[in-house]
């Protein structure tokens, strides 16, 4: 093991930074690899009794840092206490710190970096030991003067004196000190909106994003409830609209809005010149969805008399809305799964065997997606199809306060619950949004991430799935609900009722924000691929200058959606065929045995 690790010493000598691509905590690999990711000084340790090659994975980087600190404690306990020192007491202090899992957050760096005390006042392990032993003023001085330095790069003689007085060596303190991964950086889109954003839609065919809500200004441009974002600028659509907008879609050069509008209308249509309105009986449209070239609208009807409410699903054919022989309750979401239309929403009242997800068969019509012995047990607000899997998000707690499904995945025809109410606690009792951004799944709404340990957050979370773990990682701490999520030009965009991000020193983010932390181009990769010609007209040849067998290629458009790509592979070379893929900017990923070894932007003209 030691001879293999000597190469790491070069990295340590260059400032103790890890120059390779970040190792995700969810990746199952040797314990040593994970420890080295947190602190490269593990390359110098040859502790007896540690199984360095044990395969491990972690639900989050917080859990991995906890393991790092626990391993450090094992080493510290193997060394005898120095006479008259506080070593034993401070090792116990370190153990309590480790179990609390309140670690600093990396707010200002794009790579793993030490933070002595972060901008929320959370100290690193060494800083915490200084504070707890009466050296608060010195810990503050370090944070003000060398907050992002490794211990051995700090010029303070006081560190050596403190270490000697309390029974530690400088090498031990340096091993304790972890680096912290970058946190997600959110920024307003322009100067933001002046009121709530309720819906986003990426119109890839016209290279624009459509934004709707309650606002009258977007980035200080007058836009009455509807705006177009293109070329980093907002512009209005005519005189705008007046109403409650819940959903947007673009078809046949028209823009359709669903919701509730004046005079009991629930559809607004922009034809490029003016707004017109339509009424699909009394009620509110919750979702618009294109399936097989036709526009479907789902939501809830409300009768005008004393009769109970009626729920609906309709389709627009030849300019006329036609009823669909729907069998369920209110429709909140529509998706396509394995070539069939799937709807999610509320169950009909009084039904003995209620269901919340139904599938449309062109021969038999609508029917529950699963049999009565394996059904979800609360309202479904979002569906997301991902290959052979179907995800459903919705209610986390029933009227009688019993926990319900929250988030589930359909696997081999069976629903499996992934997130439980008791584990996470959602103040709004539901997950309202699901979004696929490249290869990652994100959950949105009024989602409070309060795991008891780890990073707190609100509004948006990243889902981590592995054989060992199912967890959510908070990637923002917004002060209110996320109503809508989109991917536009590689960036994730959120719209909602929020105005600030962060509990400590909150940053203003008025109603619409974006981040490029999840663009799928994080690098640096081991090597970049070569492609010629680029831009691509019909076909292209590519090569990765790396002695690895390419196993597959993946192509994503600017919305983060995977695009079907025809290609051939021979060793570390590949050829691709454009076929009928539309012109535009795309992200090409090159894989070897399931690992991304190279990726970059390509242009189709």
Residue scoring higher pLDDT (99 or 289): 289
pLDDT digits (tens, 9 = 90+) for 74-122: 889 887 666 667 898 999 999 999 988 889 988 666 568 899 998 678 8
pLDDT digits (tens, 9 = 90+) for 384-442: 998 889 999 998 888 787 888 999 999 888 999 888 765 444 445 789 999 998 778 99
pLDDT confidence tier of residue 510, bands split at 50, 70 and 90: very high
pLDDT of residue 451: 54
pLDDT digits (tens, 9 = 90+) for 293-327: 999 999 987 665 545 556 689 999 999 999 888 88
Contact, 365 vs 325, CB < 8 A? yes
pLDDT of residue 8: 36
Contact, 193 vs 510, CB < 8 A? yes
CB under 8 Å to 7, separation ≥6 — which residues? none
Q: Write out the H or E segment, with its range, that includes residue 251.
A: strand 243-251
Contact, 381 vs 332, CB < 8 A? yes
CA 293 from centre of chain:
30
For the chain, helix, strand, coil in percent to 5 are 20, 40, 40
pLDDT confidence tier of residue 455, bands split at 50, 70 and 90: low
Q: Is the pLDDT of residue 17 over 60?
A: no
Q: Is the pLDDT of residue 495 over 90?
A: yes
β strands within 489-583, DSSP E: 491-496, 500-501, 507-508, 512-515, 529-532, 539-544, 552-556, 562-563, 566-570, 573-577
pLDDT of residue 562: 76
Q: Is the pLDDT of residue 11 over 50?
A: no
Q: What is the spatial distance between Cα 413 and Cα 569, in angstroms, rounded to a whole number?
A: 34
Three-state SS annotation for 158-181: HHHHHHHHHCCCHHHHHHHCCCEC
Q: Mean pLDDT across the chain, nearest whole number?
A: 84
The segment with the largest mean pLDDT, out of 212-226, 518-532, 572-586, is 212-226
pLDDT digits (tens, 9 = 90+) for 220-244: 999 999 999 998 899 999 999 999 9
pTM: 0.66
How far, in Å, are 244, 486, 490 from residue 198 at the CA level? 9, 12, 21
Q: What is the mean pLDDT of the segment spanning 563-591?
A: 87
Contact, 230 vs 207, CB < 8 A? yes
Q: What is the mean pLDDT of the segment spanning 5-33?
A: 56
Counting runs of H as helices and runs of E as strands, what totals does the chain give?
9, 42
Q: What is the spatial distance between Cα 13 and Cα 23, in angstroms, rounded to a whole number?
A: 21
């Amino acid at each position: 093991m030691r001879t293999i690790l000597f190469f790491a010493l070069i990295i340590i000598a260059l400032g103790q930074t890890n120059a390779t691509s970040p190792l995700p905590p969810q990746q199952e690999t040797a314990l040593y690899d994970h420890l080295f990711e947190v602190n490269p000084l593990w390359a110098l340790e040859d502790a007896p009794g540690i199984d360095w090659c044990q395969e491990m994975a972690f639900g989050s980087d917080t859990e991995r840092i906890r393991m790092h600190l626990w391993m450090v404690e094992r080493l510290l306990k193997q060394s005898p206490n120095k006479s008259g020192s506080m070593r034993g007491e401070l090792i116990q202090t370190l153990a309590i710190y480790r179990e609390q899992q309140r670690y600093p957050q990396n707010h200002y760096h794009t790579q793993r970096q030490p933070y002595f005390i972060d901008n929320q006042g959370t100290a690193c392990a060494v800083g915490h030991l200084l504070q707890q032993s009466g050296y608060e003023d010195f810990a503050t001085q370090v944070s003000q003067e060398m907050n992002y330095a490794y211990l051995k790069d700090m010029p303070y003689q006081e560190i050596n004196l403190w270490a000697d007085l309390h029974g530690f060596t400088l090498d031990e303190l340096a091993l304790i000190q972890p680096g912290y991964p970058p946190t997600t950086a959110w920024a307003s889109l322009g100067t933001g909106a002046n009121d709530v954003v309720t819906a986003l839609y990426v119109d890839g065919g016209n290279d624009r994003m459509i934004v709707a809500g309650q606002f009258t200004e977007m980035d200080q441009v007058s836009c009455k409830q509807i705006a177009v974002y293109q070329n980093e600028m907002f512009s209005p659509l005519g005189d705008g609209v007046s109403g409650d907008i819940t959903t947007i879609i673009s078809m046949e050069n028209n823009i359709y809005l669903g919701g509730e509008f004046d005079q009991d209308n629930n559809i607004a249509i922009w034809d490029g010149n003016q707004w017109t309105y339509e009424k699909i009986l009394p009620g509110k449209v919750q979702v618009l969805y294109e399936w097989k070239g036709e526009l479907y609208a789902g939501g809830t009807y409300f009768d005008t008399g004393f009769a109970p409410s009626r729920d609906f699903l309709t389709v627009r054919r030849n300019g006329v809305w036609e009823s669909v022989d729907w069998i369920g309750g209110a429709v909140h979401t529509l998706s396509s799964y394995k070539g069939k239309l799937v709807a999610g929403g509320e169950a009909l009242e009084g039904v003995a065997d209620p269901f919340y997800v139904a599938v449309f068969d062109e021969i038999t019509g609508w029917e529950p997606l699963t049999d009565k012995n394996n059904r979800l047990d609360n309202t479904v607000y979002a569906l997301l199809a991902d290959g052979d899997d179907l995800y459903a998000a919705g209610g986390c707690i029933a009227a009688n306060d019993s926990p319900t499904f929250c988030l589930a995945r359909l696997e081999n025809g069976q629903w499996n619950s992934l997130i439980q109410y008791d584990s996470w606690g959602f103040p709004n009792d539901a997950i309202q949004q699901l979004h696929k951004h490249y290869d990652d799944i994100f959950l949105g709404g009024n989602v409070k991430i309060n795991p008891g340990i780890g990073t707190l957050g609100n509004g948006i979370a990243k889902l981590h799935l592995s054989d060992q773990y199912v967890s959510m990682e908070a990637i923002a701490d917004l002060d209110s609900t996320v109503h809508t999520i989109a991917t536009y030009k590689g960036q994730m965009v959120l719209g909602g009722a929020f105005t600030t991000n962060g509990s400590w020193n909150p940053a203003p983010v008025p109603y619409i924000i974006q981040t490029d932390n999840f663009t799928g181009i994080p690098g640096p990769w081991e090597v970049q691929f070569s492609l010629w010609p680029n831009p691509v007209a019909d076909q292209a040849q590519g090569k990765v200058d790396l002695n690895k067998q390419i196993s597959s290629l993946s192509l994503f458009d600017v919305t983060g959606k995977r695009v079907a790509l025809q290609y051939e592979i021979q060793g570390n070379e590949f050829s691709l065929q454009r076929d009928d893929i539309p012109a535009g900017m795309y992200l090409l990923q090159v894989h070897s045995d399931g690992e991304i070894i190279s990726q970059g932007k390509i242009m189709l003209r």
